[in-house]
Amino acid sequence: MKAGWNLGNTLDAMPGETSWGQPYTIREMIDALKGLGFGLIRIPVSWGGHTSGAPDYRIEPEWLDRVETVVGWALDAGLRVIINSHHDNDYYYPSPENAENAVSFMRSIWTQLAKRFSDYDARLIFESMNEPRLAGTAQEWVFDENNPDCKEAARVIALCNQTCVDAVREAGGRNFARMIMVPPYAASPSAAMSNTFSLPEDPSGRVLLSVHAYTPYQLCMLGTKKYSEFNDDCRTEISGLMSGLFSRFIKKGVPVIIGETGCTNKGNPEERRKWAEYFFSKACRRGITCVIWDNGEVGVGEENFGLYDRVSHKIFPESESYYEGMISGLSK
């Protein structure tokens, strides 16, 4: 699938597609991605706010139609497509108290989606959840397999992942052969490596591991320029990440997709180029597909992951070397 690209802060934005400052998605925007060397587009979608609410969670027809339109454009452009349940953590919050509601939400949403897309071929991939976690707690982004709350959260996440797989397989059509990505707690690679994580049972054997890796965190996520250099410590951490995912999953026949990755802009174009080249080359050598996160922001500091200008349909000037490093890494 080569490299992938995220349509970030768009169909996942709340309350609507342009609410977080990104333009309305058009066909030309999607078409240009193929020419830039991308083979996959991840389309994050938030569903909860576009439903009737509990207990039925009926998706608004207009919202589902809009998502299907964008999916169709991407498939027509020759891309593989991932759709997920993105900023819906409040609905599938992985606590024991919310477990019943979480399972109900997952069953309803994925039954509806699987039925709507039942005739679509295997180029359309489903992803059960996005970063399910105990938001608002000390453990939100830190998974500790010895922490009782984390253990319970892992159990609820496993229930939700199994519910998604069951709903999709039972929906008929081409869904029996559809690939389904499932995350661990917070989509964390370390949580995936934990003995508390298990993949759902799947009669078709087409479940993939979904993780996110802004690695190393200090370089890729923190806004401070104190950590703006790509050095040997960065190489070691990335190499360890890829080797761990390979040994635990790929070597055992479980494909892995890093559904989000990226390196924020700190006014350090050459260091971002080095990061992208090394990260993507290491992933490719291990058979791991990476999907770059793009929220359209190109300032300097945290959360500035803009790569592709959705108005000009070109790479942002600030990110040209970043993009070149990524493409170079795919061929190494």
Residues involved in catalysis: 86, 131, 260
- Least Cα distance to 163 among 212, 114, 209 occurs for 114
What is the spatial distance between Cα 229 and Cα 231, in angstroms, rounded to a whole number? Answer: 6
Q: For residue 6, give the nearest of 205, 163, 209, 210 by alpha carbon.
A: 210
Left (φ > 0), alpha (ψ -120 to 50) or beta: where does 194 sit? beta
Cα distance between residue 219 and residue 267, in whole Å: 12
Residue 145, classed as helix, strand or coil, is: coil
How open is the CA angle 118-292-38, to the nearest 5 degrees?
65
- C-alpha span between 261 and 211 (Å, rounded): 9
Q: How many angstroms separate the Cα of 94 from the Cα of each of 12, 160, 209, 245? A: 20, 9, 18, 24
Coil/strand/helix, residue 30:
helix
